[in-house]
Amino acid sequence: MALALGLGSLFNHSESPNVTYTLDPALDCIKYMSARDVQADEELCIYYGQNLWFSAAQSATANASIAEVDDGWGGLTAVVDDDIVCESNEITNPYADGSQDEIISEDELPFIRFKLPPEEEDAESIRTAQAWIVDVPESRHITTLLKWLKQAGLDGPELGHLKRIRKHGATTSLLLCTEPDIPQLPQDLNLPAPYLLPVPVSSALTLPSLALKSALWPTMYTPRRKDEPEPWTRGKLKWAWDAMKSAVDEALRAQCDDRELPIAAYIPEPFSLANDTILITRDASSAFIASDTRHGTGHPLRHAAINAVRKLADSQTSKDASQPAIATSETDQASRNGTNYLLTDQTFFITHEPCIMCSMALLHSRVKEVVYLYPMSKTGGCGGCSCLPTLKGVNHRFGILQWKLGGPYGRFVEEELAVAETIDA
């Protein structure tokens, strides 16, 4: 934690801040940097995060005219956007009426599901990476070592698809990290030297795969991402339709009010079918929506998908801060892995096919599936120019659903949401 005193406590909050900050624990200081050119008399604002404790006023910064800000294009973004007319889009949800439990056949679904190649299920096709393991002769040292892993920053999500501890006969072993890091273990525990073992690079989607992978190292079982397509009920389609509409509305708002690209992402509260077992999920108390802010912030990486994941992460971090920092048992460790993976079991809605960077961010967040409307054939990372979940070397797969272009959304796709084909969405 860091508490800003003096001038640092004077910054107000803005959704499109002109100041960013970083914490420097070594110097005990917070460093503030302008994120774009600042005009005379323009208020300096920072981003407080997702969970505001007050109702935010529209700041001068959010309303700053783009024409007065150097956008890196000689002000051209403002010229291009000058004739935007903001209209409200009243279209009704076609799934609102009728039995909400009825399963809708594949042909009648409003989107096309991309079929990913089948999951590996024989010993040869299991992809592995070398990881450092240490045997722990005294079980009382396990808790100390789990604390140490966290302090050493080795508890990141990269190994979240594996269990940390393996009991093999009388031997208890601990998974430390993947190559090439060579862990420097605490000296005072008199541990034997760590050794390298091949471990699976992804969780198991089927029981045969679980048995094969766990023979290498105990692996998490995530059967929800199996190859058979999940049935969609009318009720779930209603939920998805509303979610996509929220993303479309936010994209149009961002284009109109903020002069941004009309791209937005939405992470709704998960829809749970009756009898559905959600294995690991975040505490879904709210939905997260974000638009692209690369122009307003002058930051080329502020894409809608990244912004939405960041909002979720900010909310998760503030929740984590109120919980015990160290997980002591194997089960606690597993659930912490679940929360580190921000989008486990989540459906992610986005107006445009996410670019390669954003698709990778979604993959790292362990998203369950991505639903998009506007295909980006030159830049998309979900089948457009590349398909991230099928790349060799990635350790997670997610479903990809492209909303069909006809129907009520067709108009948006052809007109309001159109962006240049070379844009990275």
Ligand X SMILES: C[S@@+](CC[C@H](N)C(=O)[O-])C[C@H]1O[C@@H](n2cnc3c(N)ncnc32)[C@H](O)[C@@H]1O
Cα distance between residue 58 and residue 62, in whole Å? 7
- The continuous run of DSSP H or E covering 146 comes out as helix 141-151
Interface with ligand X (CB under 6 A): 9-10, 12-13, 54, 56-57, 59
Smallest distance, ligand X to C-beta of residue 59, A? 5
Pick 293 or 359: Cβ nearer ligand X: 293
Smallest distance, ligand X to C-beta of residue 54, A? 4
Smallest distance, ligand X to C-beta of residue 56, A? 4
Cα distance between residue 276 and residue 224, in whole Å? 9
Cα distance between residue 218 and residue 206, in whole Å? 14
Smallest distance, ligand X to C-beta of residue 193, A? 50
Q: How many CB atoms lie within 10 A of CB 308?
A: 30
Smallest distance, ligand X to C-beta of residue 311, A? 16
Contact call for residues 134 and 191 (beta carbons, < 8 A): yes
Pick 59 or 219: Cβ nearer ligand X: 59
Smallest distance, ligand X to C-beta of residue 50, A? 14
Pick 45 or 263: Cβ nearer ligand X: 45
Pick 29 or 56: Cβ nearer ligand X: 56
Pick 53 or 99: Cβ nearer ligand X: 53
Long-range interactions of 23-31: CB distance < 8 A, separation 24+: 28/2, 30/2, 30/4
- Structure letter (DSSP) for residue 210: H
Pick 13 or 299: Cβ nearer ligand X: 13
Cα distance between residue 123 and residue 350, in whole Å? 37
Smallest distance, ligand X to C-beta of residue 32, A? 13
How, if at all, do strands 171-178 and 19-24 pair?
unpaired
Pick 41 or 122: Cβ nearer ligand X: 41
The encoded tokens of residue 119 equal 């999951």
Smallest distance, ligand X to C-beta of residue 209, A? 49
Smallest distance, ligand X to C-beta of residue 41, A? 17
Pick 45 or 204: Cβ nearer ligand X: 45
Q: What is the 3-state secondary structure (H, E, C) of 349-416?
A: EEEECCEHHHHHHHHHCCECEEEEEECCCCCECECCCCEHHHCCCCCCCCEEEEECCCHHHHHHHHCC
Smallest distance, ligand X to C-beta of residue 261, A? 24
**Which residue, judged by CB position, is nearest to ligand X in the bound state?**
12
Q: Alpha carbon of 385 to those of 322, 389, 421, 424: distances in Å?
A: 42, 13, 11, 11
Pick 9 or 187: Cβ nearer ligand X: 9
Peptide bond into 180 cis (omega under 30): yes
Pick 13 or 253: Cβ nearer ligand X: 13
- Structure letter (DSSP) for residue 27: T
Binning the chain into helix, strand and coil, the percentages to the nearest 5 are 30, 20, 50
The encoded tokens of residue 99 equal 């039995």
Contact call for residues 39 and 27 (beta carbons, < 8 A): no
Pick 62 or 237: Cβ nearer ligand X: 62
Smallest distance, ligand X to C-beta of residue 13, A? 4
The encoded tokens of residue 65 equal 């005219």
Bridge partners (DSSP) of residue 288 are 267
Contact call for residues 179 and 131 (beta carbons, < 8 A): yes
CA torsion through residues 379, 295, 89, 82, sign = negative
